[in-house]
Every structure is written in structure tokens, then in C-alpha cells.
């Protein structure tokens, strides 16, 4: 190689001590080999037992290439089928580094070259693998030459790491618990191996952002870059005129002052941030004036703005008041532009910008373009240090001014997702594309499957959607099952309230699941694009839950399958009532029973599942998709049930015997306003604010 050098490397295996080990340390050792870009390697292990394993590489030697620096190869375990997520690949073969999309297959050696997560069937059990980050390096998984490989890189040529977390593997009987436990294990081990450069916490250790409990509107798909105060007020006024309780407004891209920076093209854009203040042409009376009108005159509770993790797409202009007024805040990445300094000075920038925005009345922010931050630095810092520093600075200022009300976006690569220490909301898929005919199908498949891994790090956000387009129901049921935010982006004059009301209460609160919606086991095993089976997602809510179904078949063929109460994981009970939202029908089933479903080429379905107790099950508000979430409490004794609903409205319940009396708030409901047939009780209760107490006697 022209000159000799000494390389010492060993792989450290850490094992979580849990009973019923699928592999021993010896088994794992026999399957692994490591190869750096140059030199020799030896492998050493810390022995242990249990179904969770993490492999790390300890390195000494010269600087390594910025790309594909270290490769860890593993003879893969047997797998009948797998579902994986990989960085989205464009039609021209290049990668869109911000997003992941699903892959279904047989045999782990067939994993995509940019895999970030895989769940596989291993005999009667399940297995899962994730790439790790730390020590300046990020990893990815791939199938190569019959092996599963983890490839680590720093994006900083000449960087010599010391300890590099590479790969984590786990096994279990329950695929959902397995994935949850694997991410918990992985975060802990990355922090042990690389202190200070991995910041993330599991989703369940962080609160849900309060603002996103309510319905909102975003400017992007309505106006794209052409926004101003007048347009924002016009669109928000339409909600008020149509009686829709929009509670937040998100002012997306192009509200700020930017300038072209010729010759600099860091992210496919020439525009760089040139001032902290809003564009005075678009907001002639200032941003605070716009916020004041939105809140005081139009009833909006919160207003937010968009930005990127670098300030703007092409960074921040160095010849600007920002750089002059905030010395030490920016790291120059070219002669013309910089980014908030990941080494620590960046917090000065974020503190100044967020202080200004808070003073203008802004309550929350959306932070885009996270995944490419390492590329801006162009080799002056290893990628994990760039990302951990950038997020540390952003989140410190965010907590100070906005609490946890930060939406992460364009951020699916591993060096971003493992840094969310405080933020707890992240976009679940690539943007919705209203002008693309098949977008609702792809969007449903990507958001649901990505939730399997993303929900362990943050609540998935299914993005804005437009109510006036065809197949709005594809988007609506996705938000119903997601557990996350619900906001639209309709063009002026085209807002359609009908698809919105089944998702929200009268005060604008979103009807949310208790946990993020996840793909049912059938959609982990089956490829809904090709296998003539529906895409199925489930979510828990109160005592029951919901099931959402989509036809996403690639060739627009009808699809069919079977569903039942057991598809809502974790429900207690042996007998359940299943209510079909679109069919307005109800059936009672045992836990293991299933029934046939079929969907036409553009078909969707939504079902509420509730446990039957003493011959009764409160379904909830019949005009809401996730009816289970509308039931605040339900108590049953012999011959009588009392149900507290979140608000008054049309009510459905399963009652085994014909009721003799139905009352609301202590007043008997006339017999003309309720009906019972084949176990289904329908009560016509007038919609009203506030809780409603329904009593059913039989």
C-alpha cells in the first residue's frame, strides 16, 4: 500500500441479559467479521447471554476515508420474510436522504443498500436489527454477498475514530415489544460507547407537544413560496366562515428574508438567510401584527413558523447583520455562507432567532432539512459530532422559548433520529404531493410502515393534506389512526369541512389514539403493494382501539383479507364489538375470530373495536372515525351501563339485549330518537360542547 502502518481493532459485543436467548455471544462471534478501508482487524468480545446484542468497533490507526470506512459483516439469521425501511431511492437511482420507504422480502441478504431498520420472522419468533451511530460515525445496513453488513462512515475524510457503534440485533415473541426494547437498548449502548455524541431519548420518556393536540392549517400546499399576511388571513378566515375550529397556523417556507448567494449551491437552492426578521414586503406591518390578527380576530390559539436546521436551505449569509451582530454564532462552510456552529456557538444564533420570534408572538417551530447537515460542513467535522452539536444547540434554545413544541422534518437518517433528546414529534414520510394522482396510496404505506421504527423515537406526523382533493379519505383515516397531529393545507376557497369533522371535536381538539398507530402483523408479513392484501394499521384508544385499512395495490387491483379483534394488539377481554364506520354496521366476535374484508381499487375501511362486558360495549360517537377515543369512561353492571362521552353527539353501542330505556344527562331519550337491532344501539343525541353522560338500561 506504499507505506505500512499499524491498525488495531476489536469488536465489543454487549449483551442485554434477558432469558430465552436466541443467540449466545459465541454464536454471534462466529457470524461476525470486520474490515476497515485499510489495515488489519482483530475481534474481541465481552461475553454475555440474552436476545439483544450490540456490536462496536474500536479503532486505532490513520485517518479513514469519509465514505464506507469500516464494514462489519454478519452471516444473517434465517428469516422467512422481512419488512425493512431504507433511505428513499429516486427513479434515477439517486437517494433522497431525508426519508425512508419500506421494503418487503425474503432472506436478509437481500436488504437494500441504504437500510436503516429491519424486522424479520425468525422461526416462531421475531428478530430486528438497526444500525447505530457514535464516535463521529454513522452506520447503515445492507445485504452484500450473502451477508448483512453494517457500513460506518464519518463524511469527514481523514477522520480517525476510536469507538464506533455499528449494529444492534434483538429477538422476541412480540414484534412490537421487540422493536421498542431494541431501540431502548440501542440508545443506552450508544450513549455508553460514545458519551456526549448521542442525545436521543425514547418517545415515551418525553411529553407530547400540547399545541399538536389541536387541529391546524399549514400554508405550504396552499401557497407554496407565495405567502404574505393577506393570504394567511384570507385562508384562516375561511375556517371561521365555515365553522371549523382551526387552533394553530403554521407559516411555512418563504416568510423570512433571504438573498441569493451566487456560486453556492449547498442543497440544490441558491437562497441563504440574510436577517432574523420576517420579510417586510410580505409582512409590511411586521410578523407580530399578523400573529395578533390571527389570534385576536380569527380565534387562532397558536402560530408557528418554518426554518431549516442550517437557518435556510443554503445556510446563512456571512455578509449579513446576523453574522455581524452574533459573533461566534456561525461556522463558515464557504466564503459566502455559514451554518449555526455545531461546536457550541450555534446556540447563540438559535437563542437570538427564537427570542425575536417569541417576541413577535410565535409559539412553535418546524425545523426542516435535518438529514444533510453533515454535508454542509464538508469534512471539517465528523457527522455525529455535527448532528449532536446542532441538535443540542437547537433544542436548548427551543426548550427555553417554545418548550417542546418543535416539529422535526426531513430527518429520517440515523444520525438525526438518535439526537432527539427533548423534541418528540417528527414527520413520518416524504411530503404529501397533492398534484400526484397516486400520492395518497404511497403516503399511507410509507407513514404506516415507518411508524414501526419512528414511533420509538418520536410521535409520527403524517403531514398536511388537502380536503378538497379526490381520495381525501386515504389521508383522513391515516390521521385518525396515527395518534399524531392533524392539519390541512387547502387552497383558498376550496376548504371542505366534511372530511375534517370525523377527526376533531367541536373545540378543535384532535381525536387521538393513546399510542402511535402501527402496521398490523399481516402488513409486516405481506407486501400490500403486490400481495393483493390490504394495508392494515391499528391503534389503542381507551378501553379499545381502531383498525384502518387501505388498498395500496400497485396495479389498482381489488384486495381482500381477514381482520378481527386480535389485530388491535394489547386489548384485554375475550369478546369484542367491532363497528364498521363506513358500513355503519356492528358485529360481536371472540378474540381469535376474524371476518372477511375486501376493498376496491381506491377503497378504505375503518373499524372501532371495543371489549364486551356483561353484554355491553360502548362504541362511542358514531360520526367519528376513532370512536373508541371519544369514550371517557364506561361502567357496566347487571342490566345497566353508564357511559361518559367526551362531547355530545350520535352514539353507538353494542347491547346484547334490547334496551328498555336510554337517557342522556338524566333525561330519558324519546323512543323515536333511539333504535336497537341485532345488538346495535343507535342514539340520536344532539351535538353539543362538553361531556355527555349516557345511561342504557335493559
Residues 6+ apart with CB under 8 A from 381: 156, 342, 343, 374, 389
pLDDT at 3: 35
Quote the pLDDT of residue 39: 57
Asked which of 230-239, 323-332, 374-383, 672-681 is least confident by mean pLDDT, the reply is 374-383
Residue 14 reports pLDDT greater than 60: no
Of 387, 313, 314, 320, nearest in space to 352 by CA: 320
Q: Which of 445, 451, 395 is nearest to 420 (CA)?
A: 395
Residue from 546, 548, 545, 544 nearest 534 by CA: 548
Question: What pLDDT is stored for residue 37 in this prediction?
Answer: 79
| Beta carbons of 432 and 155 less than 8 angstroms apart | no
Element (H, E) at 631: strand 631-637
**How high is the pLDDT of residue 448?**
99
Per-residue CA distances from 235 to 256, 452, 641 (Å): 20, 35, 44
Let me know the angle formed at the C-alpha of 69 by 68 and 70, rounded to the nearest 5 degrees: 100
pLDDT at 155 over 50: yes
Number of C-beta neighbours around residue 378 at 10 A: 14
* Angle of helix 175-193 versus helix 439-454 axis, rounded to 10: 60
- The pLDDT, as a whole number, for residue 623 is 98
Judged against a pLDDT cut of 90, whether residue 38 lies above it is answered with no
Helix (H) or strand (E) holding 396: helix 383-402
Least confident range from 128-142, 191-205, 367-381, 548-562: namely: 367-381
pLDDT confidence tier of residue 22, bands split at 50, 70 and 90: low
Residue 576: CB partners within 8 Å, gap ≥ 6?
A: 544, 565, 588, 589, 590, 591, 609, 610, 611, 612, 617
Determine the pLDDT at residue 138. Answer: 97
Task: Give the highest mean pLDDT range of 52-61, 93-102, 404-413.
Answer: 404-413
- 484-538 pLDDT per residue, tens: 999 999 999 999 999 999 999 999 999 999 999 999 999 998 999 999 999 999 9
Query: Residue 26: what pLDDT?
Result: 73
User: How far is 646 from 652, CA to CA, in rounded Å?
Assistant: 14
Q: Average per-residue pLDDT in the chain?
A: 93
pLDDT at 197: 95
* Strand blocks (E) in 333-381: 337-340, 364-368
pLDDT band at residue 13 under the 50/70/90 scheme: very low
- Give me the mean pLDDT over the 227-252 stretch: 98
Report whether pLDDT(21) > 60.
no
Please name the residue ranges forming H helices in 413-536. Answer: 414-417, 439-454, 472-482, 521-525
State pLDDT tens for residues 55-73: 999 898 999 999 999 999 9
pLDDT at 379: 80
d(CA 112, CA 518): 22
**Short-list 422, 506, 448, CA closest to 102:** 448
Secondary structure letter of residue 510 according to DSSP: B
Q: What is the mean pLDDT of residues 442-449?
A: 98
What are the backbone angles phi and psi of residue 119, rounded to the nearest 5°? Answer: -125, 130
| Residue environment code for 435-460, b if the CB has 16+ CB neighbours within 10 A, otherwise e | eeeebbbbbbbbbbbbbbbbbbbbbb
pLDDT band at 10 (very low <50, low <70, confident <90, very high): very low
Domains in the chain, CATH or no CATH each: 8-198 (no CATH), 205-500 (3.20.20.70), 520-612 (2.60.40.1180), 618-698 (2.60.40)
Distance CA 412, CA 417 (A): 6
- Choose among 562, 646, 568, 658: nearest CA to 610: 568
Amino acid at each position: 500500500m506504499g507505506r505500512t502502518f499499524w491498525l488495531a481493532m476489536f469488536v465489543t459485543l454487549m449483551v442485554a441479559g434477558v432469558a430465552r436467548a436466541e443467540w449466545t455471544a459465541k454464536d454471534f462471534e462466529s457470524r461476525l467479521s470486520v474490515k476497515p478501508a485499510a489495515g488489519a482487524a482483530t475481534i474481541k468480545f465481552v461475553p454475555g447471554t440474552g436476545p439483544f446484542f450490540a456490536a462496536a468497533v474500536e479503532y486505532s490507526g490513520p485517518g479513514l476515508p469519509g465514505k464506507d470506512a469500516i464494514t462489519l459483516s454478519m452471516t444473517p439469521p434465517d428469516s422467512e420474510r422481512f419488512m425493512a425501511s431504507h433511505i428513499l431511492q429516486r427513479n434515477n437511482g439517486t437517494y433522497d436522504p431525508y426519508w425512508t420507504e419500506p421494503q418487503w422480502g425474503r432472506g436478509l441478504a437481500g436488504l437494500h443498500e441504504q437500510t436503516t431498520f429491519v424486522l424479520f420472522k425468525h422461526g416462531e419468533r421475531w428478530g430486528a436489527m438497526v444500525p447505530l451511530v457514535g464516535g463521529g460515525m454513522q452506520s447503515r445496513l445492507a445485504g452484500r454477498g450473502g451477508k448483512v453488513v453494517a457500513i460506518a462512515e464519518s463524511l469527514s475524510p481523514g477522520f480517525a475514530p476510536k469507538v464506533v457503534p455499528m449494529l444492534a440485533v434483538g429477538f422476541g415473541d412480540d414484534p412490537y415489544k421487540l422493536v421498542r426494547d431494541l431501540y431502548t437498548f440501542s440508545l443506552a449502548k450508544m450513549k455508553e460507547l460514545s458519551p456526549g455524541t448521542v442525545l436521543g431519548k425514547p418517545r415515551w420518556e418525553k411529553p407530547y407537544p400540547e399545541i399538536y393536540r389541536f387541529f391546524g392549517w399549514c400554508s405550504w400546499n396552499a401557497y407554496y413560496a407565495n405567502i404574505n399576511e393577506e393570504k394567511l388571513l384570507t385562508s384562516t378566515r375561511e375556517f371561521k366562515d365555515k365553522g371549523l375550529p382551526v387552533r394553530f397556523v403554521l407559516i411555512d417556507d418563504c416568510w423570512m428574508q433571504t438573498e441569493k448567494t451566487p456560486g453556492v449551491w449547498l442543497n440544490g437552492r441558491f437562497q441563504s438567510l440574510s436577517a432574523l426578521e420576517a420579510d417586510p414586503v410580505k409582512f409590511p406591518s411586521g410578523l407580530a401584527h399578523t400573529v395578533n390578527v390571527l389570534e385576536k380576530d380569527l380565534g387562532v390559539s397558536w402560530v408557528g413558523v418554518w426554518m431549516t436546521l442550517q437557518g435556510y436551505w443554503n445556510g446563512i449569509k456571512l455578509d449579513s447583520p446576523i453574522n455581524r451582530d452574533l459573533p461566534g454564532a456561525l461556522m463558515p462552510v464557504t466564503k459566502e455562507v455559514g451554518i449555526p456552529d455545531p461546536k457550541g456557538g450555534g446556540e447563540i444564533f438559535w437563542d437570538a432567532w427564537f427570542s425575536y420570534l417569541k417576541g413577535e408572538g410565535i409559539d412553535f417551530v418546524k425545523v426542516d432539512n435535518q438529514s444533510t447537515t453533515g454535508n454542509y460542513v464538508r469534512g471539517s467535522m465528523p457527522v455525529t459530532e455535527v448532528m449532536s452539536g446542532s441538535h443540542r444547540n437547537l433544542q436548548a434554545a427551543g426548550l427555553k422559548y417554545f418548550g417542546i413544541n418543535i416539529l422535526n422534518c426531513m430527518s429520517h437518517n440515523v444520525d438525526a433520529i438518535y439526537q432527539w433528546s427533548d423534541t418528540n414529534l417528527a414527520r413520518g414520510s416524504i411530503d404529501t404531493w397533492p398534484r400526484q394522482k397516486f400520492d395518497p396510496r404511497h403516503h399511507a404505506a410509507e407513514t404506516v410502515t415507518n411508524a414501526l421504527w419512528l414511533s420509538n423515537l418520536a410521535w409520527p406526523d403524517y403531514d398536511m393534506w388537502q380536503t378538497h382533493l379526490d381520495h381525501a379519505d386515504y389521508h383522513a383515516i391515516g390521521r385518525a389512526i396515527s395518534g399524531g397531529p392533524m392539519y390541512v393545507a387547502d387552497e383558498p376557497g376550496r376548504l371542505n369541512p366534511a372530511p375534517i369533522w370525523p377527526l376533531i371535536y367541536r373545540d378543535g381538539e384532535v381525536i387521538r389514539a393513546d399510542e402511535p398507530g402501527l402496521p398490523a402483523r399481516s402488513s409486516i408479513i405481506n407486501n400490500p403493494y403486490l400481495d393483493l392484501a390490504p394495508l392494515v394499521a391499528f391503534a389503542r384508544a381507551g378501553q379499545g382501539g381502531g383498525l384502518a385499512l387501505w388498498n395500496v395495490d400497485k396495479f389498482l387491483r381489488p384486495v381482500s383479507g381477514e381482520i378481527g379483534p386480535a389485530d388491535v394488539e394489547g386489548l384485554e377481554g375475550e369478546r369484542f364489538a367491532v363497528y364498521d364506520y363506513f358500513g355503519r354496521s356492528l358485529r360481536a366476535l371472540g378474540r381469535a375470530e376474524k371476518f372477511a374484508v375486501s376493498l376496491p381499487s381506491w377503497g378504505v375501511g375503518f373499524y372501532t373495536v371495543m371489549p364486551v362486558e356483561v353484554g355491553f360495549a360502548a362504541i362511542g360517537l358514531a360520526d367519528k372515525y376513532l370512536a373508541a377515543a371519544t369514550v371517557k369512561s364506561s361502567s357496566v353492571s347487571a342490566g345497566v351501563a353508564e357511559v361518559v362521552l367526551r362531547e355530545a353527539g350520535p352514539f353507538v353501542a353494542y347491547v346484547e339485549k334490547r334496551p328498555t330505556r336510554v337517557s342522556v344527562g338524566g333525561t330519558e331519550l324519546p323512543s323515536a330518537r333511539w333504535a336497537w337491532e341485532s345488538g346495535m344501539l343507535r342514539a340520536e343525541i344532539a351535538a353539543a360542547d362538553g361531556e355527555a353522560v349516557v345511561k342504557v338500561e335493559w
